[in-house]
């Protein structure tokens, strides 16, 4: 699969990476990766993007600010409330997308959820690795990762924060930018989910409780279904079943 990488100006003019694959006239699907990950790790490496490309989709994969090949500014002005949603709105507008599908994993799922609440109108929506409590209770998740940053380099094996520390090391996460970004993410109260009227796929690992209950999230949405795939939070996105579930949902009649 040939992936072409370019950049676009997000909020505050910050340069954000954008990866695209598939036929230019293919149906657009925008996929947003998770926290401390990248388009390469979540969508390309394990074949999900290739599966969609082979089915004729045009796969559009931004790197979130402070992630992947995107800029990681240290200026607090680059991290206002809901900045990731602002970046997503800018991207959709710049690409001129009107008929498209939208999906995200973990932090990406939070971002696309809030993007739809903010006015985006995809045909279908995919929420991966996300539960009801993960949308409404971001403060607890944020505090966990801020603690990882504060203790970075000192966390030992056996500590619940160890895996997150090692993943951040592997991804060369800019800790200053990451801390600023964590403070910009907002909660989504359950009652706001009534605004999401598109068909929604909630897909989550069978032992993934990192963001709460995915079945409860599906129950709260007006038109959603829950699909279970193998794996933990970090493991489920590496499974072929994740891509297969997304493809089946986006291509059904």
Residue 113 phi, psi (nearest 5): -60, -50
What are residue 105's DSSP bridge partners? 128
- The whole-angstrom separation of Cα 94 and Cα 88 is 10
Half-sphere exposure of 30 (CA within 13 A, CB side): 30
96-108 pLDDT, tens digit each: 999 999 999 999 9
* Tokens, residue 228: 């279970």
Q: Report the alpha-carbon angle 129-43-186, nearest 5.
A: 45
Residue 12 phi, psi (nearest 5): 70, 10
Contacts of 235 (CB under 8 A, 6+ apart): 205
Give the strands of the sheet with 101-105, arranged side by side.
4-9, 15-21, 57-62, 27-32, 101-105, 125-128, 200-205, 224-229
What are residue 32's DSSP bridge partners? 104
152-199 pLDDT, tens digit each: 999 999 999 999 999 999 999 999 999 999 999 989 999 999 999 999
Other beta carbons less than 10 A from residue 209's beta carbon: 14
pLDDT score of 197: 97
75-134 pLDDT, tens digit each: 999 999 999 999 999 999 999 999 999 999 999 999 999 999 999 999 999 999 999 999
For domain 4-136+187-251, give the CATH number: 3.40.50.1820
Residue 17 phi, psi (nearest 5): -75, 145
- The whole-angstrom separation of Cα 173 and Cα 207 is 26
What are residue 61's DSSP bridge partners? 19
Handedness of CA 5, 72, 9, 141 (dihedral sign): positive
- The whole-angstrom separation of Cα 141 and Cα 182 is 9
Look at the pTM and tell me if it is higher than 0.85.
Answer: yes
Q: How far is CA 216 from the centre of its chain?
A: 19
Q: Looking at residue 22, what DSSP letter applies?
A: S
* Tokens, residue 24: 């230019």
Choose among 11, 9, 8: nearest CA to 60.
Answer: 8
pLDDT score of 139: 82
Is the pLDDT score of 253 beyond 90?
no
- The whole-angstrom separation of Cα 172 and Cα 149 is 12
Is the pLDDT score of 137 beyond 90?
no
């Amino acid at each position: 699969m040939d992936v072409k990488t370019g950049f676009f100006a997000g909020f505050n003019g910050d340069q954000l990476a954008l990866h695209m694959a598939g036929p230019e006239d293919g149906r657009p699907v925008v996929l947003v990766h998770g926290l401390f990950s990248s388009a390469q790790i979540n969508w390309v490496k394990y074949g999900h993007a290739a599966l969609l490309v082979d089915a004729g989709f045009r796969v559009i994969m931004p790197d979130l600010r402070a992630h992947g090949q995107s800029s990681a500014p240290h200026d607090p002005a680059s991290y206002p409330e809901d900045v990731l949603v602002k970046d997503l709105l800018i991207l959709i507008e710049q690409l001129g997308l009107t008929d498209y599908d939208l999906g995200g994993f973990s932090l990406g799922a939070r971002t696309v959820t809030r993007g739809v609440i903010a006015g985006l109108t995809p045909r279908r929506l995919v929420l991966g690795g996300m539960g009801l409590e993960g949308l409404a209770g971001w403060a607890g998740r944020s505090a966990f990762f801020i603690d990882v940053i504060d203790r970075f380099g000192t966390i030992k094996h056996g500590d619940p924060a160890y895996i997150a520390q090692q993943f951040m090391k592997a991804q060369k996460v800019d800790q200053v930018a990451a801390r600023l970004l964590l403070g910009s993410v907002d909660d989504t109260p359950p009652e706001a989910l009534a605004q999401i009227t598109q068909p929604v796929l909630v897909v989550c690992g069978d032992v993934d409780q990192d963001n709460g209950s995915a079945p409860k999230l599906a129950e709260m949405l007006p038109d959603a279904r829950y699909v279970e795939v193998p794996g933990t939070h970090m493991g489920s996105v590496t499974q072929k079943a994740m891509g297969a579930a997304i493809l089946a949902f986006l291509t059904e009649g």
